Amino acid sequence: MPQPVVAAVQGYCLGFGFELALMADVRIAADDAVFALPEAGLGVAVDAGGDLRIAREAGAGWAKLLALTGRRIDAATAERLGLVQLVVPGAGLDAEARALTAEMAANAPLAVQGIKRSIDAYADAALPAALDRVAMTAALTLTSEDAAEGYGAKAARRPPHFRGA
């Protein structure tokens, strides 16, 4: 997409929702936002590259900590890690997101699109090959016995008993 995308996040931003937000060019979070990748606790891999995008923005160690544990982080921590660019009071989230998009839209479209393409080309240079690996891992885990156990355990509100199968 040639135009900048701004994600405005309020409340829980978990799993694919977090991954979707990470796909945006700029992320603004309400001060009550909570972020996590809980997939491993369900027996499945992170399937849309959110872990890779966290590694790009915050480093491999943070990507591994968040993806391997499913830990939740608050908006202030996400901002400190570079996963969101601004944290605002919840009541001001919509106005801040609209003001930011208006500020970007007021600039020359060709320049904005060129800047976005250049930054993306640099930041995402290895992303296509890594996303191929993510897709293979996701396919394997989504069809595994562990995935069935993880989702079943969550529905039954009990701890999962994974076997690695």
Alpha-carbon distance 44 to 152, whole Å? Answer: 13
Helix (H, G, I), strand (E, B) or coil at 112: helix
* Residue 19 a catalytic site member: yes
154 and 42 Cβ atoms separated by less than 8 Å: yes
Task: Name, in order, each residue with C-beta under 8 angstroms of 161's C-beta and a sequence gap of 6 or more.
Answer: 149, 153
What are the tokens at 117?
């393409």
Please tell me which residue in 19, 57, 96, 103 is annotated as part of the active site.
Answer: 19
In this structure, the chain runs to a length of 165
Task: List strand residue ranges (DSSP E) for 71-133, in order.
Answer: 73-74, 86-88
116 and 25 Cβ atoms separated by less than 8 Å: yes
Please tell me which residue in 39, 79, 96, 149 is annotated as part of the active site.
Answer: 39
141 and 31 Cβ atoms separated by less than 8 Å: no
Alpha-carbon distance 113 to 1, whole Å? Answer: 9
Q: Could you list the active site residues?
A: 19, 39
